Each structure stands twice: as structure tokens, then as C-alpha cells.
Amino acid sequence: MKRKPPHKTPIQILNTVKTQRMIPLLLLLCFLPIVTTMAETYDQDFNGFPNGTTELGDGSVITGQAASIVDGRLQLTQDGEALGFSSFSVPAVPGSSQGFSITFDYELYDGPGSNDPADGFSLNYGNAPMGDPGQAEEGMAGRPGVTQNLSFEVDTWRNGDSEQGVNISGIVNETDIGQLAFENGTILNDGQRIQGSIEMSWDPGTGASFNTTGMNTNANFTGIDTAEFNPNDEHTFIISARVGGANQDLFIDNLIITT
């Protein structure tokens, strides 16, 4: 078999004008940094802690006589015990000023045959200091030094009361801006146990959303205008709860904050 003679003028790929122009570009692309957007997350399932634990070692702060870890969940208020305010504070999560989402599971229980369930709780995002007990179902209203706050609130007192229900509220430049969204109704009845999930989010473009499951009256708010609320990456996240002469159990579990 005859071999084909070699090409008289072999093609010099690397010496073509087009390739010579492409080489610097190819080299540049090889060394360009790969830019990716990574979400920041605080994730706490409260597992692995002995009952009665009040220090989780993750930067959070548990405040109040009623608050501690019980059977792998965070208990913030106790039925039958008038122990006042409790809170769970999470330090600043980078990127929160550009938006965030929060989810957690909850359980509420009110023993039968005593007073109606009370009083309520809220999730707050703002410039309250770590460990601030908050104002429970009233967010951060009146708390010293709190000038910016967005609150997602659940008011369990009193069955049929006109203020009872779920709402979004806040503080802007030291001024209470009142209810931005509100649904009146009973959350749980005397002697009732309810459980479900809560999801809250805020975005500078689309506003605030608040959704719950398992309550007698659930929140179903989407894209709520938050007025002139001024976010900041240094803002904390605080769950605040309280009881008094009327009381209830409140358990929190599987808390996830994502920015």
C-alpha cells in the first residue's frame, strides 16, 4: 500500500493570525476569578443539648426564666407559670439587608380549665441588642434604643378579642408604624394544642411575607409594603414571647435563617 506523501506545507495551527489573537484572551479567561453568590445561613435544630441548656455555643442568646432546651426543642414560655418575657436572639447574618427568609416549627399548648391562652410571640429583625427580651406579640414597641424593626407577630390573647390574631408591624426611625397587615381571629382555644410551621421573608423590592400553618387563624400575607424600613447587615433576629396570669407553652424547633 502506498503511503500518502506528507503535505508540503503543514498547517501551523498556533501560527495563524486568528489563533495568535485568541491566545491572550484564552489565557485571561483561565485566570479570571469565578464569582459565585453564596447564601449565608443560620441553622439550629436544638438537638444534642441536655434539658435545661441555656447556652448553645453558636453566638445565640437565650433570655428569660422560662427559656431553655427541652427534649430537643427550645421552650420559651411555660403553661401554668407566670414567668414573664423570654427571647431567643440570633446575631447578624451577612447579607440580610438584601433580603432574608426565616422558617421554624412551633407548638402552642394551653392547659384546660384555667385562663385563656396568652400572650403571644413575635419574630423581629432590627437593631435591638442581643438578649433584648422584646415585647412578645407587640414586637419591639417601646424597647429602649430600638429605632428600626420589622416584626411578624402572633397574638394569642384573648379568644375573640379584636386585637387577637396575626400581623406584620414595625418601627421606622424610632416611630411605631402600626399594623402593615392584620388578620383578626383566635389562634388557639383553652385546652387546645396546635403545631405547624411559620415562614417569614423580606425583600427590598417585594416587601414582607408571613405565612403560618396549624393555627385556628393563619397568616397569609405576601408582598406587604414595609414603608421606609431601613435594613442593615448588623441587624439581629430575635424571637420574643411572654406570659402573665394567663399562660401557655411555646416550643420552637428547626430554625433556619437564610440571606
Neighbouring CB atoms inside 10 A of 209's CB total 20
In this predicted structure, which of 6-15, 25-34, 83-92, 244-253 has the lowest mean pLDDT? Answer: 6-15
C-alpha angle 222-95-213 in degrees, rounded to nearest 5:
30
Between the alpha carbon of residue 39 and those of residues 36, 42, 85, 99, 119, the distances in Å are 10, 10, 32, 11, 35
Confirm if 200 and 152 have CB atoms less than 8 A apart.
yes
- This prediction has a pTM of 0.86
pLDDT tens for 55-74 read 999 999 999 999 999 999 99
pLDDT of residue 214: 98
User: At which residue does the C-alpha cell 406579640 appear?
Assistant: 137
pLDDT tens for 114-168 read 899 999 999 999 999 999 999 999 999 999 999 999 999 999 999 778 989 999 9
3-state DSSP call for residue 184?
A: strand
In this predicted structure, which of 4-8, 121-125, 196-200 has the lowest mean pLDDT? Answer: 4-8
